[in-house]
Structure 1
Amino acid sequence: MAINELVVYLGSRKNVVGCLGGLVGLALAAFGFGGSWWWVLVVGLYAAGALATPPARAAVALDGESMEPAAIRTDLASVLAHVNAVSGRLPAGAEQRIRETATLLRDVLDRPDALEGAPEQAYAVSRVVRSDLPTSLQTFLARGGTPPAGRARNCSSS
């Protein structure tokens, strides 16, 4: 396993930039900079390059869920079916906001080519449909019937 990590690091952007810094250090040493401490110059420039380079972007964990727009659209339809079933328990304007959000999500899902090259955005859309909307809806419904007193009952003003 350590060899695999070493191979990954050798091909990483951090190592490549560090190596370029080390090469600059060798070039400077060839022109007389650093004297007998040339190796400190090379190691220092390697370390500076490797430390200054941002880490590689983390891959999005998909949790085994499909990122296909059709599967996400199916899940969105089931969320909307649940909204229809509990619409009488939602505050005024909340159902409309959920439907507006669903319309925006459908518009995004109607352009699968836009999501194909952007896994982070596909994951974000999937998360809104599969986690955020259902969780917020369930949290509201679990706390009881009506909105708290003193709070606006119309969700349409932001």
Structure 2
Amino acid sequence: MATSRFVGYLESRKNITGSAAGLVGLVLTFTGVAGPYWPVVVVGLYGAGALIAPPERPPLPDFPDPSAQLDEVRGDFERLGDYLAEVDLPPAAAGRLTELTGLLTALLEPGWVAEILAQDPEGVHTLSRTVRQDLPEAVDSFVRARWWTRMTPGQEPPERHLERQLTLLQEEAERLATALQEMEARRQESHTRYLEDRSQQHP
């Protein structure tokens, strides 16, 4: 450990800059400028060089970029689809689920829509939360609650909660799709302004 730290210091900016400054001191010594105090000059220049050297910067953590995150969410969504296919839902809830999963499929489909989505970290987080947490929790809660209502009839049907939850998730996904559409519209408007400005500059 001590050896690796020593080797690391030898390769550091501080040592390299200090050594370069120390060489200047040796040149001054050989030319007679430093005089009898040349050791102090050399050490002083080395220390000054080491002080002014930029600090060492540790490498940043290698986090996956949004495109890689989308790939992971896409894989999780496929596994979620396998789970949902095994759940027996009432017709109304099944219809809402079909609408929601259809929109999620369109947003996650590889292509230009996913490329736009990858530029929106909040949007990627929203999709990830829906796929990995909110949607499976909504369906699983319904499955468990349905069993209890069969044991103790007369309570509020659990499908009402499921339908409401799926509606809220659908609305959230629609807001995300609208935001992406507006982002693309702003891009188009920006390109129009650029072309107009260029046309005015070069009639």
Higher relative contact order (CA 8 A, sep 6+): 1
TM-score bracket relative to the smaller structure: 0.3 to 0.5
If the length of structure 1 is used for normalisation, what is the TM-score? 0.47
Structure (1/2) with the larger helix percentage: 2
If the length of structure 2 is used for normalisation, what is the TM-score? 0.38
